[in-house]
Structure formats: C-alpha cells, structure tokens
Amino acid sequence: MKTTRAAILASAAVVGLPLIMAGNAAAADEATVSVLHGIPQGSGADVVDVYAGDALLIDDFTPGSLETLEVPAGTYDLAVYADGDTPDSADPVLAAPGTEVPAGINATVTANLDASGAPALNVFVNSTDKVAAGEGRLTVRHIAAAPAVDVRANGEVAFAGLTNPNEAMADLPAGTISADVVLEGQGDPVLGPADVPITEGVNTIVYAWGSAEGGSLDLAVQTVEGLHSSPSGVPAGDGSLADSVALGSGTSASWALGLAAVGVVAAGMTARGIAKAKN
C-alpha cells in the first residue's frame, strides 16, 4: 500500500530534524515518532505491515489509524510489506535501509493527499514547549484534498485561510470548544462541528484529512502530553478564543527551514515509492 510506504520513508528524512528540535525533547536516548495513515479508502490505500529489520513495528495499518512508537535512537532498516508478507516470505514493496532516528525527536509523519488529490508526504514537529498553568495547546493541520479552509471555534473563525499542508497553533484556557471546518470564506461546515477538549498541559492536534471531492473528509486527533509549567493556581477557562489567541496559519518560521529540508528528501523518496507501488 502506497500510503504507509510513503509515511515510513519520511522516517529516513528525520536525520535533518535536529536542526529544528530546540525545546522538543523526549528521553535522552529515545525518540517519539508517530505515523498517521491519512489517505482515504478508494484512493489506492490498502492494509500494510511495517517492519524494522525482522521486527514487526506496525501490523494491519489502515486508513485513519495513528501509531506512536517510542524507539531507541539509532539506525533502522525500515520496510513496508503487503499485509501478511514478511521479510522471509517476500520482497518489500518499499524499503528505507539505514534510516537514522535522532534522540529526542517528537514528530508525526503523515501520508495523505495533497490539495489536488495526489498522494503526499508531510513531516510535522510536535510542539512540546511549556504552556501557562491552566492552559493547553490546540494545533490544527490541513492534510486533506481540499482548498483553503477556515477553522472555527465556538462559531468564530480561529484560523483563517489554512492550506494543505500547513498548520496553525494557539494556547487556550483548558475547557471544551466546538470546532468545525468551512471552505475559506463560506459558512456551511464541511467537517464538524465536533467537541474538542483543550486539556491543561496537553498539545491537542487535530488533522483534517481525506478528500472533499470524494466525500471522505474526516478528522483525526493526536495528543502530546507533558507541556505543564510550574503550577501557579491559574483557573481553567471555557476554551474561549476571545483575547487569548493570535490567529494565523502555516508552520512557524523557526520550523519552516528544517521542514523544508526534510520535505526535499522525503518528497523525492515518496515519488519513487508511489511509482513503484503502481507497477
């Protein structure tokens, strides 16, 4: 299946991520790598198995699934096999030998559709910067085959003009917001509304994935914990965006250079992998 093949190839590019990892640390000798299968059924996605050497890492990986792995930093021979195949029984559909996984990384690799509906690969660094007491972080990522969208919270536009494959982020009082997604400048939701909890000390990451034209738009949610600052008795709020969020879209400038370097490597590998998968 080309979906996860593309995602796993991104791991081969994480060697470039230490350039942008200030403040994003896991255990000193470990890395946190998540993989999101964001290519919908009907777009050529099938079930696959992911291996590192002879060890099975992800079994029966299906669209919409998210797997998070805590792995020792090091070098891995990653490979993706058709469901049920193994390194002893078949050649891999796609392989990434000698993949370096740096210590301390916390990143998510997404295999998804680009704005035009073609398979694409993205690598996001998950923010683990501390938040103020009583607050959580909301991150929204557009990885769907859809034009620019506005993300609304409690009926108000929170992130305007978000495009694939960009993200927007804000720190909010802990609570619950009602979130939906509309095409830029329009009023009818194409996703949601859905209640999204903003949890103190947690980065809640919401992905819009799938295809608008194919009628398969959906949401996936990931949480990254450990963002607590020292308690100061600040009470939790209701998740209101008023006076608490600087609106915007896209990857922050400090991350953009590193992600661009990753994208150059990964995009070329992905194109070759997808071409091979179609043959």
242 in a structural domain: yes
For 55-89, how does the pLDDT look when each residue is reduced to its tens digit (9 = 90+)? 998 899 888 999 998 888 877 787 767 788 999 99
**117 and 173 in one domain?**
no
Does 180 share its domain with 230? Answer: yes
- CB contact set of 248 (below 8 Å; sequence gap of 6+): 159, 168
The position carrying tokens 């669209």 is 63
Query: Is residue 73 located within the same domain as residue 173?
Result: no
Reported residue count of the chain is 279
Does 22 share its domain with 64? yes
Q: Which residues contact 119 (CB under 8 A, 6 or more apart)?
A: 2, 3, 6, 39, 43, 44, 111, 112, 113, 270, 274
**Residue 179 — very low, low, confident or very high, per pLDDT cuts 50/70/90?**
very high
Q: pLDDT at position 228, please?
A: 86
Residues 104-138, buried b or exposed e (16+ Cβ, 10 A)? bbbbbbbbbbebeeebbbbbbbbbbeebbbbbbbb
Q: Confidence band (pLDDT; 50, 70, 90) for 7?
A: very low
Calculate the average pLDDT of the chain: 74
pTM recorded for the entire structure: 0.70
Q: Is residue 193 located within the same domain as residue 233?
A: yes
pLDDT at 28 over 70: no
User: Bigger pLDDT: 29 or 279?
Assistant: 29
In a domain, 260, yes or no: yes
φ, ψ of residue 221 to 5 degrees: the values are -125, 135
What is the pLDDT at residue 246?
27
Do the domain assignments include residue 130? no
Domain residues for 198? Answer: 135-248
Q: At 215, is the pLDDT very low, low, confident or very high (cuts 50, 70, 90)?
A: very high
The number of domains in the chain is 2
> When comparing pLDDT for 243 and 126, which is higher?
126
The predicted pLDDT at position 8 comes to 35
204 shares its domain with 240? yes
